[in-house]
Amino acid sequence: MGGQAPVVQRIRIRYAKRGPLRFTSHRDFARAFERALRRAAVPIAYSQGFTPHPKISYASAAPTGVSSEAEYLEIGLQAEVDPAQLVLALDAALSPGLDVLEAVVADEGSLADRIDASRWRLELPEVDPAVAAAAVKSFLDAGEVLVERMTKQGRRSFDARAAVTHLAVTEQSHLPSGAFAAPCAIIDLVVRQVTPAVRPDDVLSGLRVVAGLEPPVPPRVTRLAQGTLTAQGEIVDPLDTDRAAIGGH
């Protein structure tokens, strides 16, 4: 029985989920991405065995219903491609709103090992920023903030406070799209990856627990970045090392 062609190039891709496409589940995105690979005639490598799978690995996908500017995956190819051409071909093959932003040739090491935190923007329409700021202070002052969420193991209670390294109401640089003069609190959130994962909706639950903050309309949540958290609280883009390796060649 002939084996699969070996992987000769690994490419790391950053993509976004925007607008209505934020409701795409991870499983649906994976199917759409595999279709896009076929449509763009990308020479994807496959695993060995009776049911070969395309060599695609995903890094901590955002929850369904959440927008993201910083989703990452890695693909293994059986022939080398130009990353810039790959971006154009895949982006054209995916629906608008699932947008391929960048592709780089992978350097050594694991993509997952370079991601231990995420930065999020939480837009709370019709919430006064001063009210949100008071709730944020209560959250940060608490030793722990227990919240509940349904998991595969059933309803689970866990601390939403310890994983949060930064939480602040930001200055309003603009009114959110579609808003007139209604207030809108915008919260900047940085969360470390822990188990169980602390997600933005858990932090919002925590704000309700400690301060009774209940946004009258559903918040809009966007992942702005993910990567390695520095001692200064900045998030290092996980593709920086790959770009540096290309620059050094």
CATH number, domain of 85, equals 3.30.70.580
**Residue 237 domain flag:** no
**pLDDT tens for residues 25-51?**
999 999 999 999 999 999 999 998 889
**Residue 238 domain flag:** no
Contacting residues for 103 by C-beta, under 8 A, at least 6 apart: 11, 12, 13, 14, 83, 84, 86, 87, 90
What integer best gives the mean pLDDT of the chain? 92
**Residue 86 domain flag:** yes
pLDDT above 90: percentage of residues in the chain: 79
Same domain for 172 and 86:
no
- Expressed in angstroms, the distance from the first to the final Cα of the chain is 38
pLDDT tier, 90 (very low <50, low <70, confident <90, very high otherwise): very high
**pLDDT tens for residues 129-161?**
999 999 999 999 999 999 998 878 889 899 999
For residue 159 the two structure tokens come to 């601390």
Same domain for 181 and 220:
yes
Same domain for 122 and 66:
no
Same domain for 139 and 68:
no
Number of domain units in the chain: 2
What residues make up the domain containing 61?
Answer: 9-106
